[in-house]
Structure 1
Amino acid sequence: MEKNKKIIIYGTIVSVLIAAGLFIYTVYASQMLSYLSSDPKACINCHVMDSAYSTWEKSSHKNVATCIECHLPVGDEIAKYEAKARDGWNHSVAFTLNTYKNNIRISEDAANRVQANCIRCHTSINETLKANADKYHNAHNNGEIDNQRKCWECHKYVPHGKVRSLTSTPYNLGIKENLK
């Protein structure tokens, strides 16, 4: 009986060590800790984001806004990390199981965050938009901007350019090599 207890204890210890080793390797191989940063280069850990990174890198937004400042809630750290965790999980599942399309589409939740950040950054323009809403921006509710339209319906090429698919953005493959 004593021998069986030792085998179970040693087996448990070995199993825990193997699981810990696999977890540490997964953290290292996936560069998981880089996702806690706000560095845009973390977004290209997955090759499917190369075209988004390379088009942003050549845009007017490069010097004023990072991926996080556009795609995640700003000002509320809890909401930011909740969105980051949710998006990270969805991305890792899609990329691992290869269930995404070449031209990645933004989710409704993420689109709402981006829209809120467009408005937040361009608040000085909002007064002009309100003044011209009847001409260009479908005014409703006493001159308020139509919340159903997204900024990129007109400003399609900001900040990711005209073409954003994996196979059609020039110079998007091997972007990591060019960053070194």
Structure 2
Amino acid sequence: MEKNRKIIFYGAILSVIIAAGLFIYTMYASSMLSYLSSDPKACINCHVMHSAYTTWDNSSHKNVAKCVDCHLPVGDEIAKYTAKAIDGWNHSVAFTLNTYKNNIRISENAAERVQANCIRCHSSVSETVQKNASFYHNNSNFDNSRKCWDCHKYVPHGKVRSLTSTPYNLGIKEHLK
């Protein structure tokens, strides 16, 4: 009986060590800790994001906003890391199972965050647009359901945003090393 307990005990310890080793390797291989930063280069750990990074890197927003400034809630750390966790899970599932299209589409939840950040950063412009809506937006009341990129769709990621169409984007990670 004592011998069986020892075998079970050592087997449990070995299992924990193997599981911990696999977890540490997965953290290293996926650059997991980089996702806790605000460095835009963390976004290109996945090759599918190279075109988004490349187009942002060549945009006017590069000098004033990082990826997290537009794509995550600002001012509420809990909301920020909750959004990071949800987006990270969705991205890892889509990338692992290859269920995304070449031209990635933003989720409705993420679109609401980006819209809020557009308005936050460009608040004076937003106020002016709302005041002058009758002159510049279809001679009617301001339509709050429209997104900024309905008109400004090439900001900040440019006209070309897919894996197969942004020139030189696939080598961006190697270029940055």
Aligned partners of 1:137, 1:92: CA distance in 2, in Å? Answer: 39
Q: Name the amino acid aligned to 2:11.
A: G
Matched ranges for 1:11-90 at <5 A: 11-90=11-90
Moved beyond 6 Å, runs of 4+: none
TM-score (norm: length of structure 2): 0.97
Whether 1:172 and 2:169 are equivalent positions in the alignment is yes
**Residue 155 of structure 2: aligned partner:** 158
Aligned partners of 1:155, 1:34: CA distance in 2, in Å? Answer: 30
Q: Report Cα offsets for 1:128-172 as digits up to 9, x if no partner.
A: 2123211333553xxxx3221000010010000001010001110
Aligned partners of 1:154, 1:132: CA distance in 2, in Å? Answer: 16
Matched ranges for 1:92-171 at <5 A: 92-137=92-137, 139-140=140-141, 145-171=142-168
- Give the aligned CA root-mean-square deviation in angstroms: 1.0
TM-score (norm: length of structure 1): 0.95
**Residue 5 of structure 1: aligned partner:** 5
Q: Report Cα offsets for 1:75-107 as digits up to 9, x if no partner.
A: 000000000000000000000000000010000
Aligned partners of 2:147, 2:169: CA distance in 1, in Å? Answer: 26
Q: Name the amino acid aligned to 2:97.
A: L
Aligned residue for 1:93, secondary structure, equals: helix
Q: Name the amino acid aligned to 1:178.
A: H
Point out where structure 2 has 5 or more consecutive residues left out of the alignment: none
Aligned residue for 1:61, secondary structure, equals: helix
What number of residue pairs does the alignment pair up?
176
The percent identity for this pair of structures is 82
Point out where structure 1 has 5 or more consecutive residues left out of the alignment: none
